[in-house]
Amino acid sequence: MERIVSKFGGSSVADANQFRKVRDIVLADQRRQVVVVSAPGKRRADEAKLTDLLYLCADMAATGTCFAEPFALIRDRFVGIATDLGLSSAIAEEVAAFGDALKKGCSRDFAASRGEFFSAKLMAQYLEADFVDPADYITILPNGNVDSRSYAVLGDRLAATDRRYVIAGFYGQDIHGEVKTFSRGGSDISGAIAARAAKAALYENWTDTSGMLMADPRIVSNPKPIEEISFREVREMSYMGASVFHDEAILPVREAGIPICIKNTNRPQDAGTRIVPSLSAETIANTEIAGVSGKKAFTMICLEKTLMNKVVGFTHQLLGIFAHYGVSVEHFPSSIDSINVIVENAQLQDRDEEILAEIRKQLEPDSLTIEKDLALVAVVGEGMSHAIGVAAKVFAALRDAGVNVRVINQGASEINLIIGVASKDYEKALQAIYNAFVR
């Protein structure tokens, strides 16, 4: 039987009612044999995040400060869920034992992981499933990557196909056997690891949205949902600001060729978005673009030098200056006598004048200017390279909207077109491009 690994995010396990929805979803398909859960999410906007409370308790304990108040909030969340679900759980005792561990000086990673740990403990009992502690099976290397041997180790634990398993997300162990967390959003990574380890036919990522949208709904009113998108396309969308799915979590399943389906726990009847290794011929034929996304807060450094192309290693020397200052370069569109280097403002850290001075010293440009408050908009779609007139639509829409284009850059893969505009024109540009392709 083909297996499905289903990961449920924080909003999907925020309270007892959400636990009930998860149970209904899991039991609706017998292939959903492996369930991965996050820590309970916020129930209201003014509520503190559970993981933040866990970090706070660890920090307060480390300084000898009484952490009773935030600890009580944590305890009450889990005990409340257990009580509402009628579980005869020992969760109160387990949380109390965690309090003792805090007093003894447990690590911040161990403290942060308890949100997922207790959530999974409750879900396993509620689903009458086996609880799996990822610290026993998933090893996180010092560089943050997963030890490839973890897939086989975890796969052996999940081997029985007549059982259901619940795994805590967000953490594993380091090379010394101590609890180690992934970055924020890491439960998505845990779900993908479990899907690959279980050799799943599908990885479901359940959240509070019905998949990915073609544009940011904060800018475009009721943007069209994306039914099918490729791994390459979603990587581009995520990089340029689309935030439904943790982009690093794509890697384990992408390498294994396992498709992903993003679904809505509160609306399980919605189709959601399928992320696939390669698009169907029908999707490519009927879809000009997958979507449009973008980000603000970029800076562009513009350099001109006559016969620049004749100087061997010129670009290497220029980029080496940015590397020396630890600045990651996003794009560097160029022509025969000029090159523009685009970086995120946060990367510069107010060192732009130092960098400009070093460029003048080493490269002696004819002209060197800097342009701040730049926004980048990405038009993404595998079908773009086969469709005639996509670029014409984009630039006609921007012209009609009165948006001046500062940068045009298309990658060699031809699945994205990057347009740089002034930050003040960002929202207008995004709306105009979306409207050009979706009516």
The mean per-residue pLDDT over the stretch 178-199 comes to 89
What's the CA gap between 148 and 387, in Å, rounded? 40
The mean per-residue pLDDT over the stretch 419-427 comes to 95
Please say if the pLDDT value at position 178 is more than 90. yes
**What angle, 0 to 180 degrees and rounded to 10, lies between the N-to-C axes of helices 108-127 and 91-103?**
170
Please say if the pLDDT value at position 242 is more than 90. no
pLDDT tens readout for residues 120-176: 999 999 999 999 999 999 999 998 889 999 999 999 999 998 999 999 999 999 999
- Name the most confidently modeled range: 85-89, 156-160, 236-240, 389-393: 156-160
pLDDT at 185: 61
What's the CA gap between 107 and 99, in Å, rounded? 13
Distances (CA, A) of 346 to 31, 112, 297, 351: 45, 27, 8, 10
All structural domains of the chain, each given as residue ranges with its CATH number in brackets, are 4-208 (3.40.1160.10), 291-437 (3.30.2130.10)
pLDDT at 243: 64
Lowest mean pLDDT among 235-249, 253-267, 350-364, 404-418: 235-249
The mean per-residue pLDDT over the stretch 287-316 comes to 91
The mean per-residue pLDDT over the stretch 182-187 comes to 73
Report the DSSP pairing between strands 4-8 and 202-207. Answer: parallel
Please say if the pLDDT value at position 385 is more than 80. no
Q: How would residue 382 be classed by pLDDT, with cut points 50, 70 and 90?
A: confident
Please say if the pLDDT value at position 89 is more than 80. no
State the Cα torsion 204-207-211-216 to the nearest 10°. -150
Q: How would residue 43 be classed by pLDDT, with cut points 50, 70 and 90?
A: very high
Please say if the pLDDT value at position 412 is more than 90. no
pLDDT at 188: 87
pLDDT at 16: 98
Please say if the pLDDT value at position 44 is more than 70. yes
DSSP designation for 116? H
pLDDT at 234: 86
Question: Where are the extended beta strands (E) located within 112-151?
Answer: 130-132
pLDDT at 309: 86
Q: What percent of the chain has pLDDT over 90?
A: 78
Query: What's the whole-number average pLDDT of the chain?
Result: 92
Please say if the pLDDT value at position 388 is more than 90. no
Count of CB atoms situated within 10 Å of the CB of 423: 15
The mean per-residue pLDDT over the stretch 221-238 comes to 88
pLDDT at 414: 72
pLDDT at 244: 58
pLDDT at 411: 65
pLDDT tens readout for residues 57-87: 999 999 999 999 999 999 999 999 999 999 9
Q: How would residue 96 be classed by pLDDT, with cut points 50, 70 and 90?
A: very high
pLDDT tens readout for residues 334-379: 889 999 999 999 898 889 999 999 999 999 999 999 999 999 999 9
pTM: 0.86
Q: Per residue in 240-278, is it b (16+ CB within 10 Å) or e — as a string?
A: bebebbbbbbbbbbbebebbbbbbbbeeeeeebbbbbee
**What angle, 0 to 180 degrees and rounded to 10, lies between the N-to-C axes of helices 68-85 and 16-27?**
50
Please say if the pLDDT value at position 202 is more than 70. yes
